[in-house]
Amino acid sequence: MFFSRWQEGGNKFQRGPVSEMWIPILSSFDDDETSELVGVINVHLYWQAYLLDLLPDNARGVICILENTCGQQFTYVIDGAEASYIG
């Protein structure tokens, strides 16, 4: 569902990396040891979206490599406002 919404929004979806974040919502900010977990916010970060419209139109062939703490690397090429996932 997430990817189909991105695709229907007029942007080109490419099967690049997506990060998932879970953010706890606690009952109080006062004391972490007595606060109860009352909810969770879940976020999916589609990295290609952060690379779109990043550079001016005359910037061509810029290689962007994203790396995580697990040693994985993900490569994009940025041509002006467009970003393409390489692998």
Q: What residues make up the domain containing 71? A: 2-85
In order of 33, 53, 73, the CA distances from 23 in angstroms are 17, 28, 25
Number of structural domains found in the chain: 1
Bridge-based pairing of strands 62-67 and 73-79 is antiparallel
Average pLDDT score over the chain: 83
pLDDT of res. 10: 56
pLDDT of amino acid 14: 62
Q: Specify the pLDDT at position 16.
A: 80
Listed in sequence order, the residues at least 6 apart from 23 whose beta carbon sits closer than 8 Å to its beta carbon are 40, 41, 42, 43
| Sites in the chain below the pLDDT cut of 70 | 1-14, 31-32
